[in-house]
Amino acid sequence: MRLDVEHCVHQHLMNKIKPNFAEIARRFDTDPRTVKRYYEQSLNPAAKPPEKLKRPSKLDPFKGLIREKVEAGCSASAIYHFIKEHDYRGGQSILRDYCRTIRQRETKRATVRVETSPGLSAQVDWKEDIVLTTRSGEVVKGSIFLYVLGYSRAKYLEFTFNRTQTTFFDCMTQAFVETGGVPQEIWFDNQKVVVNRHKSNFGKAVFNETFAEYAKDAGFKPIAC
């Protein structure tokens, strides 16, 4: 399954642009018919082939916890010892493979891009409800702010202890300072500090008024995705 191609086609549809099958095929080194198939499936989700049934795995009860730990930057070895203390009875190799799958999926999701050039765009994501445990057993809860430039793929990350709009603006401003400027446009997902109403098939996203003022003052065009 080509998640990169599927995401690119879906992004075109969200912006009401019919994708150029040949151009996308060249960009992702695939067949235009593959791109067309993802396009047709996106138009008619019911036409997608049914997924094969999977056998139960010893990882299943821990997958949510494992995903949180991977997104927080924990190694497969550290996660193994952690969930082992919580009655995990599986092997370390299957856990390592699953962690690798999560990282690859997150990388593809974060790096899918529309045609871009230096200074044109960036993407912002706020990974919420991250739970970390220190060596002494203390539980620390927070979120990770992630800012990625579209052309260079340079990243700025910051761990935060709350998800207020003030904290979000502070992270944005610091990201501009660390990366050397403000891009022309920035893509956001449906974060509460950004939009009041999500984008859907029935209408466009409605940006939060305070956020819209911040974007105007900073000099970038916000785009909901």
- At residue 200, the pLDDT reads 45
User: Which residues on adjacent β-strands are paired with residue 197?
Assistant: 206
* Residue 157 sits in the same domain as residue 89: no
Range in 15-24, 30-39, 154-163, 202-211 with the lowest mean pLDDT: 202-211
Q: pTM (2 decimals)?
A: 0.47
Rg (Cα) of the chain, in Å, rounded?
20
Domain membership of residue 43 as a residue range? 3-47
**Interior angle at CA 2, CA 191 and CA 70, nearest 5:** 50
Residue 36 pLDDT exceeds 50: yes
pLDDT tens sequence across 75-100? 888 899 989 888 898 888 899 889 98
* Residue 124 sits in the same domain as residue 143: yes
Nearest alpha-carbon partner for 40 in 58, 19, 26: 19
Confidence of residue 47 (pLDDT cuts 50, 70, 90): low
29 assigned to some structural domain: yes
Mean pLDDT of the chain: 82
* Residue 203 sits in the same domain as residue 119: yes
Task: Kindly state the average pLDDT of the residues 56-75.
Answer: 85
